[in-house]
């Protein structure tokens, strides 16, 4: 009988130990990078300025929004998005931020391609594109600020 109780206690102890180990989870968070955060802010402003200038200073009439008028700026902004992506890729444990940058770059290329193919953009398309990129840059910034919080949690 004593052996049965001893075995039961051992199994219970083993079970509780395994349960405790499974309950514990360590999540590694990449470090905060103030330069990336600043670059996100600058790129956000540049993309917003690009679309606002297009919306306010051009019109769909008379080829005012023909792609060739904006192609150089598209390339400059794509370079910034590539830079953000590459900086995030090389940081260890940075999978989420890297994915947000990949999605942002893919959508930038997609919307640039649509503009090039159609050789025009409507007011609605410009407003839609602005909103999409506003949301993506917000997600980038939240991800970066989360890293800062993880390093210095509130007391």
Alpha-carbon span 121 to 52, nearest angstrom: 13
pLDDT at residue 19 above 60? no
Distance of CA 17 to the CA centre of its chain: 38
Per cent of the chain over pLDDT 90 is: 68
Residue-level pLDDT at 134: 98
Contact 78, 111 (CB under 8 A): no
Q: Under a CB-based contact definition with an 8 Å cutoff, are residues 120 and 60 in contact? A: yes
Residues 103-112 have a mean pLDDT of 98
For each of the domains in the chain, give its residue range(s) and CATH number, in order of start. Answer: 34-151 (1.20.120)
Residue 150: predicted pLDDT = 79
pLDDT over threshold 70, residue 27: no
Lookup result for tokens 């840059």: 137
pTM score > 0.75 for this model?
A: yes
Calculate the alpha carbon distances from 44 to 2, 10, 63, 72, 116 in Å. 71, 59, 27, 18, 22
Other C-beta atoms within 10 Å of 76: how many? 11
């Amino acid at each position: 009988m004593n052996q049965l109780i001893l075995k039961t206690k051992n199994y219970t102890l083993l079970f509780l130990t395994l349960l405790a180990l499974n309950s514990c989870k360590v999540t590694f968070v990449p470090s905060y990078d103030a330069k990336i955060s600043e670059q996100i802010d600058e790129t956000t402003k540049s993309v917003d300025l690009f679309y606002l200038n297009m919306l306010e200073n051009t019109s769909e009439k008379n080829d005012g929004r023909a792609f060739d008028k904006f192609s150089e700026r598209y390339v400059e902004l794509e370079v910034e998005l590539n830079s953000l992506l590459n900086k995030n890729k090389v940081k260890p444990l940075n999978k989420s931020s890297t994915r947000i940058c990949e999605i942002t770059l893919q959508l930038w290329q997609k919307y640039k391609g649509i503009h090039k193919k159609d050789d025009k953009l409507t007011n609605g398309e410009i407003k839609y594109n602005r909103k999409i990129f506003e949301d993506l840059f917000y997600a980038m910034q939240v991800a970066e600020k989360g890293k800062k919080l993880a390093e210095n949690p509130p007391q």
